[in-house]
Amino acid sequence: MKKIWIGGYTSCGNHNEIAMIENYIKEPDYGLTEKIEEADIIIVIDTCLGTYQKMVSSFECIEEILKRAKIEAKTIVSGCLTKGVKFELTERQKELLSKVEIVKQEQLVPYVAQMLRGTVTSDDFDIPYSVNGVSISISPVSGCLNYCSFCKSHYMNFGLKSYPFEKVESLAYDIETIDYPFHHVAIHASNFSLYGTDLYGKPRAHEVIKNFTSPDKIKYAYVGSLINWYPELVEEIIKNPKIKEIFISLESGSPRVYKLMNRPISLNNLIRLIKFIKKERPDIIIITEFIAGYPTETIDDLKRSIDLVTELDIFPCFIWPYENSEQIPSSTLPGHSYDYCVEAANYVKRELFPLSKKFKDQILNGEMFVLKKSDKRELYITMLINGMIRNVRFDQLDRDYQEEEVIPANIVKPKQFVKRKF
Closest CA to 4 of 55, 46, 48, 41: 41
Q: Please, are residues 100 and 61 in contact by the beta-carbon 8 Å criterion?
A: no
The structural domains of the chain, with segments of one domain joined by +, span 2-117, 129-359, 362-419
Would you give the DSSP letter of residue 156?
Answer: B
Where residue 13 falls (left for φ over 0; alpha for ψ -120 to 50; beta otherwise) is left
Q: What is the pTM of this model?
A: 0.74
Amino acid (one-letter) located at 103:
V
pLDDT at residue number 65: 93
Q: Please, are residues 106 and 131 in contact by the beta-carbon 8 Å criterion?
A: no
- Phi and psi dihedrals of 179, rounded to 5? -85, 60
CATH fold of 2-117:
Rossmann fold (3.40.50)
Order of strands across the sheet that contains 129-132 = 129-132, 135-138, 184-188, 220-224, 243-247, 285-292, 315-321
What count of residues does the chain have?
A: 422
For residue 51, the SS3 value is: coil
pLDDT at residue number 126: 59
Residues 260 and 149: their CA atoms lie apart, in Å, by 7
- Cis ω on the peptide bond leading into residue 139 (within 30° of 0)? no
pLDDT at residue number 377: 43
For residue 140, the SS3 value is: coil
CATH fold of 129-359:
pyruvate-formate lyase- activating enzyme (3.80.30)
pLDDT at residue number 419: 36
- Phi and psi dihedrals of 209, rounded to 5? -60, -45
Helix (H) or strand (E) holding 209: helix 205-212
Q: How many CA atoms lie within 13 A of 172 on its CB side?
A: 18
Helix (H) or strand (E) holding 224: strand 220-224
pLDDT at residue number 134: 63
pLDDT at residue number 214: 92
List Cβ<8 Å contacts ≥24 apart for 400-406: 401/370, 401/373, 402/370, 403/370, 403/371, 403/372, 403/373, 404/369, 404/370, 404/371, 405/369, 405/370, 406/367, 406/368, 406/369, 406/370
State the burial class of residue 34 (Cβ atoms within 10 Å of its Cβ: 0-12, 13-18, 19+): exposed
pLDDT at residue number 8: 75
- pLDDT tens, position by position, for the chain (422 residues)? 889 898 876 655 455 566 567 666 666 778 888 899 999 999 988 788 777 778 888 899 999 999 999 999 999 998 888 877 767 789 999 999 999 999 887 678 778 877 876 655 545 445 666 665 567 888 898 888 877 998 877 666 667 889 899 888 888 887 777 666 667 888 988 899 999 999 999 999 999 999 999 988 888 899 989 999 999 999 999 999 999 889 999 999 999 999 999 999 999 999 999 999 999 998 888 999 999 999 999 999 999 999 999 999 998 888 999 988 777 889 899 999 999 999 999 999 999 988 888 876 766 666 666 655 554 444 455 555 545 555 555 554 556 666 666 667 666 543 343 333 32
